[in-house]
Structure 1
């Protein structure tokens, strides 16, 4: 019996020895990949606020950003849609006017703090508050935003949550007893955590009167256009959809299955892409907000790379509709460390500095910004990674060209190689143990 127990313990130890390196490596890699999405940038001077003049004849819509940031598409897609209509005063707001990291390290300087907004509106609430997903849902760090949201709702503000912004509203107690939705990947978790909410699956948005909630990421486009339609009519909403290249307005947009786990390709990229590409994203004045978001969110959600926001001179830039973004480096200084340089929007003729990669113009063809960004990801990485990215973005794929390798073979080969090496090491140890035992065994005559 004792011998059997010892053998069983040895077998378990051998299995653990074979798996420990890939398991620890995958854990460290995955934590690093997810942690990099909202890592704070270095200290930099904050430019003076320069929001557009306020027109009291227009309704006011604000996009609130958490103290630890927000999902880039959740914040910027509604902002551009609302701004493009010309029918709203549109502002980004936060508890304090300081850089907030959006997905992938795109640092947004909010137009106004909560106090600044109250002064601008004369103490009244905005008409619509857009709530994107935060990286710290349910944590104490969201308390300032939750308290502010409760106050705005109590004073008549309507609410539009995007993706897991629904969980932000739920954590503030603003969805109790109401139907709502959020990202399909987290609905089971939110159902357990916020059981007072009637979570809805399989819809891109849920309209409950003064609260509209949307499903994953780009479902926020449908929810925002729905708000525009309610506020300004279907013709204005159709023009806004046309302005951003969203040809699906007024049609039945496909819905991602209502529940599920990350695809295998996502797990492989998160756990075993130990040397991800370092990708510079060049910020330039006048770039579209959706164009920026399409690059940072596509690369970030793919888990295949690390993005670095750069500008030509390292200084801040202003987007098409007046948002302020701070790069984390100048192009010349960052170029030698970059594997690729992606250029969103219409900018062309960029001359790479010595030692830097050639610029790749993401939006070099007409169409919806995310279609071209995901198509480019497919060519650069592989089809499986690009399909996962489209799925997590809630991007219909009828406009996406998938081409390139079928699968992330190199990251997949890494754990296989580590397991084989571990097994070989265990085999060597077993043989040495047996050889030692033979030498120690007493000779018989």
Structure 2
């Protein structure tokens, strides 16, 4: 007996349209998936851990310091998990450069701490060690500076909070720089008080600390023995305000001139335009994901380099511009201009795309030969040549984004270079087309094999 043939019902118009929409959605998903995967891999690979801890042990003593009980004393807090290099070194150079302040870098209990972008600092003292030193000298702490700390451990947070509360009760001036306001707020000492921070962080801070009166529009906010600064380079203004309060306005004016900060406003915070994300700021996502320029950057450590000169490349190319990852290069520990000790991670620039040498003195001496790029060719604010180099080496839009995230809004010099990272922008477009083409080919192949 012959089995009767049963015809499959024809696909209805609704089913046909649904099938077409599914195919189109699959193609669109494939088009987005490939550039998305490449973006994630590149971003995590280059910028996943800007505060990566050393894998070797370092036994280097900090530079010896003499303590003068007739001078005010300022402590700069750091974290074993990482500390923002510009938040720390900007106000540090402002204060140390006066010669009239005892300055110390301290940690809860870590002799070597990572700073942004692969620069390691040998701290001067532990928090307890500073306390013992001051007790021995019959002295007190006049100010504490809190830079942005990168995910401090639970034990650190407990120790830091207890110490900050102790200092606040003693009337010590406490100053946070940029996202250091999160650590400050976490201690409870900002509750009910006005404060500020980096514009990028403000929404999360308002959510997590609703009892703080978060404000924008000024370089710093001052309330009694509390000062909080806006983002990154506002720490220079915060440092100058500390000089005003601990010394005098003339010392602050001299300090501003010494570091070539052209935006000092005596006795009051300068106004700061309120920044927000704009469509053209997508440039940072393009850079972090598809940057085609030099991305492995060595930074040569040279004895006597200024602290701001050191901070400028380590934070700008990495955390701000996101065009590359830096590594400290040198044949051993060095002392900065005002006595901080830094330890390199690489002996030379082998395998790197580029070697940058910060510092005016290093440029004059050509310490790394003629193939290196000497960042600071003349006396000027240390971040100015970095922004010019980012514009010339990468593009102007990236340099302007970098200035925006540094909160360096009053640029009074020209940036020249390509207007936009066009080559890097083309990469995700080509990847999307490739992903869509692969999806179409696979779909047609499967349809042909379907009976």
Same fold (TM over 0.5): yes
Match of 1:127 in 2: 142
SS in 2 for 1:390: helix
Query: What does residue range 189-228 of structure 1 map to in structure 2 within 5 Å?
Result: 189-228=204-243
Match of 2:58 in 1: 45
Task: Decide which of 323, 328, 344 is 1:327's aligned counterpart.
Answer: 344
SS in 1 for 2:235: helix
Query: What does residue range 36-435 of structure 1 map to in structure 2 within 5 Å?
Result: 36-122=49-135, 125-136=140-151, 142-250=157-265, 253=270, 255-260=272-277, 263-273=281-291, 277-300=295-318, 301-311=320-330, 313=331, 315-331=332-348, 335-345=349-359, 346-348=361-363, 349-350=365-366, 352=368, 358-435=371-448
Instruction: Give the number of aligned pairs.
Output: 430
By how many angstroms is 1:151 displaced? Answer: 2.2
SS in 2 for 1:116: helix
By how many angstroms is 1:191 displaced? Answer: 0.4
Inter-CA distance 272–226: structure 2 relative to 1 (3 Å threshold): same
- Cα contact 2:217–2:271 (8 A) shared by 1: no
Instruction: Measure the CA separation in 1 of the matches of 2:333 and 2:152.
Output: 29
Bigger radius of gyration: 2
SS in 1 for 2:444: helix
- Cα contact 2:80–2:110 (8 A) shared by 1: no
Instruction: Measure the CA separation in 2 of the matches of 1:397 and 1:203.
Output: 13
Instruction: Measure the CA separation in 2 of the matches of 1:99 and 1:397.
Output: 35
By how many angstroms is 1:241 displaced? Answer: 0.5
Higher RCO, Cα 8 Å, sep 6+: 2
TM-score (norm: length of structure 2): 0.89
Question: Can you give the 5+ residue segments of structure 2 that lack an aligned partner in the other structure?
Answer: 1-13
By how many angstroms is 1:6 displaced? Answer: 4.5
Query: Can you list the C-alpha shifts for 1:22-44, whole angstroms capped at 9, x where unaligned?
Result: 11222233333432311112323
Task: Decide which of 24, 32, 38 is 2:37's aligned counterpart.
Answer: 24
SS in 2 for 1:330: coil
- Cα contact 2:47–2:325 (8 A) shared by 1: no
Instruction: Measure the CA separation in 2 of the matches of 1:136 and 1:256.
Output: 28
Instruction: Measure the CA separation in 2 of the matches of 1:207 and 1:84.
Output: 23
- Cα contact 2:83–2:148 (8 A) shared by 1: yes
SS in 2 for 1:52: coil
Match of 1:443 in 2: none
- Cα contact 1:188–1:259 (8 A) shared by 2: no
By how many angstroms is 1:267 displaced? Answer: 1.2
SS in 2 for 1:369: coil
Query: Can you list the C-alpha shifts for 1:114-152, whole angstroms capped at 9, x where unaligned?
Result: 121011110865110000011217967533322322222
TM-score (norm: length of structure 1): 0.91
- Cα contact 2:333–2:341 (8 A) shared by 1: yes
- Cα contact 2:84–2:148 (8 A) shared by 1: yes
Instruction: Measure the CA separation in 1 of the matches of 2:170 and 2:45.
Output: 41
Instruction: Measure the CA separation in 1 of the matches of 2:165 and 2:181.
Output: 14
Instruction: Measure the CA separation in 1 of the matches of 2:289 and 2:273.
Output: 24
Inter-CA distance 84–193: structure 2 relative to 1 (3 Å threshold): same
SS in 2 for 1:365: coil
Instruction: Measure the CA separation in 1 of the matches of 2:275 and 2:298.
Output: 34
- Cα contact 1:125–1:152 (8 A) shared by 2: no
